[in-house]
Amino acid sequence: MHTNYYFLRQLAPALTDRLRGYRVAVCFSQEKDELVVGLTNGTQEFWLKAQLGANLPALALPETFQRARSNSVDLFPDLLGEQVETVVPWPQDRVLQVNFRSGARLVFKLYGPRPNAIFRAAPDAPAQLFQQKLLADADLRPQTAPPASSSKSDLSTESDKSAVQTKLPPPLADLPARYLRQNGYDAASPETKTRMVHQVLAQLEKPAHYYLIQLDGRTRLSLLPLGDVLETLPGDDPVAALRRFVPMALGRRALEMETKQLRQLLERRADEASAAATHARQRLHALAHEAGYRHTADLIMANLHDIPAGATQIEVVDFYTNQPKLIKLKRTEKPQHTAENLYRKGKNQQIEERQLAERIARREAEALAAMERLEEMDTVPGLAELRGLRAWRKQHGLDPTPAAAKAPTELPFKVFEDRGFTILVGRNATNNDLLTQKYAHKDDLWLHAKDVTGSHVVIRHKAGQPVPEPVIEHAAQLAGWYSRRQHDSLCPVTVTPKKFVRKPKGALPGQVVVERERVVLVKPGNPFDGQ
């Protein structure tokens, strides 16, 4: 209720008593959505700090304030030197107006979704807006005098009692309405409803206490005891209540927001790590149940003398299982060459299995660590304070710093490094689309074996560094090796910046159109195979 009419009508006369005769010394902003006004009577100072953001609009009254030396902008220059006459609330509204002796007006509009400050050097002068995008606020007219009924509610007349019986007055806002309903308002008779509303209005017009409460996960200032009461303050000093409430609310709001963000970060890390471990485990299981490349190569070499020239398949007895096994061959390829390729694939398969096992262990450890941190957030008492939460977050490397904002992710492609440049190779048609359409930057180099199906290859661009020709040659060899020209003596390979590669509408996975290209001839192979 710190912006509610019933609190502002208590705050306004208290500010008038404190500020009458004070002059505006400075008016500036040094943070987004913050307006600071410093006033003095020659010997004492008083600060008004308007928080004009949608999250927590408030009029803070810090006892002291130090202006920053940088990132500070003077505002409302015509306000300087103005002498305060009165501070008044607008009737039945969340607006506080400071009247100056010259006729100037400074209005603090404390609406939740669109707060603002409006200054007029004279009642009919053009409006100067703090939030300049809220152009409609220029038409808000300051009150020329305090509301006539400043001490009594409009509901005190007999003619309004019938309205009270069926509908609560809008200025009550949500807290008084919840207080009434919590105390049986909805089930009460019309006469009892009227009596209850007038009792609450009497408490609001002259509160005995101000309450700092926790309700629905939010810290709020209330004129009625509601929710979890954190502190009870005297009802005769709204300035002191506001000075206590705003820092507490801002601190608790920051704690709630950072706790929520930290919990979401840990949950996301745990989910991503678990999913990655599961995917790697499935791939490892599939590799374990496939017929080993080395096993097949051994069978070809053992039966080499029985394989006729040009054969496309051969049935042999598997000496590991003593069962017949059918092995497919290529008509144009010698069996020895087929076995050589299978041995190479077997070596790569062993490397992949080892890498998968390491990935599973690493990702499972990451998921477990994230779950442990989540459990600590619910059990460590010190995390209920913002300072303790930030220290704990820093201790575990969870600071949202730009360097750690996004952890490096494992790319779903074959990855090679050459002379400081990264080469990415697609695994299949769908993976090619992912590489070319989602991961590749427009200035990356794109390569593909010409006129045949094969993997898309991308050389990552490095600003200010042209790609050396040896790197292009090695990437072209990879493009030929992972294509249908794998066993050709020479393979033509298309090379072009990715910005000249586009995917036509309706094209099949992996299909693209190249608009500009140059062609290099290389021998297909994997130049990194021995690394």
HEC string of 467-530 equals CCHHHHHHHHHHHHHCECCCCCCCEEEEEEEHHHEECCCCCCCCCCEECCCEEEEECCCCCCCC
Residue 161 has pLDDT above 50, yes or no: no
What value does the mean pLDDT of the chain take? 84
Tell me what pLDDT residue 171 has.
55
Going from N- to C-terminal start, the domains of the chain cover 5-137, 172-236, 267-396, 413-522
Residue 154 has pLDDT above 50, yes or no: no
**Weakest-pLDDT range from 35-39, 308-312, 438-442:** 308-312
**More confident call, 47 vs 215:** 47
- Calculate mean pLDDT across residues 108-115: 86
CB 177 within 8 A of CB 222: no
Distance CA 130, CA 128 (A): 7
- Calculate mean pLDDT across residues 373-377: 89
Tell me what pLDDT residue 141 has.
66
Q: Among residues 456, 445, 513, 517, which one has the least CA distance to residue 483?
A: 456
Residue 165 has pLDDT above 50, yes or no: no
Distance CA 141, CA 122 (A): 11
Q: Per-residue DSSP letters for 363-399?
A: HHHHHHHHHHHHHHHHH-GGGGSHHHHHHHHHHTT--
CA dist list (Å): 176 to 89, 159, 241 = 19, 22, 18
Residue 289 has pLDDT above 80, yes or no: no
Q: Among residues 402, 406, 421, which one has the least CA distance to residue 478?
A: 421
- Calculate mean pLDDT across residues 273-283: 89
CB 58 within 8 A of CB 67: no
- Domain at 5-137, CATH homologous superfamily: ibrinogen binding protein from staphylococcus aureus domain (2.30.310.10)
Task: Map residue 70 onto helix, strand or coil.
Answer: coil
Residue 156 has pLDDT above 80, yes or no: no
**pTM of the entire predicted model:** 0.53
Quick: pLDDT tens for 477-498: 999 999 999 989 999 999 999 9
Residue 403 has pLDDT above 80, yes or no: no
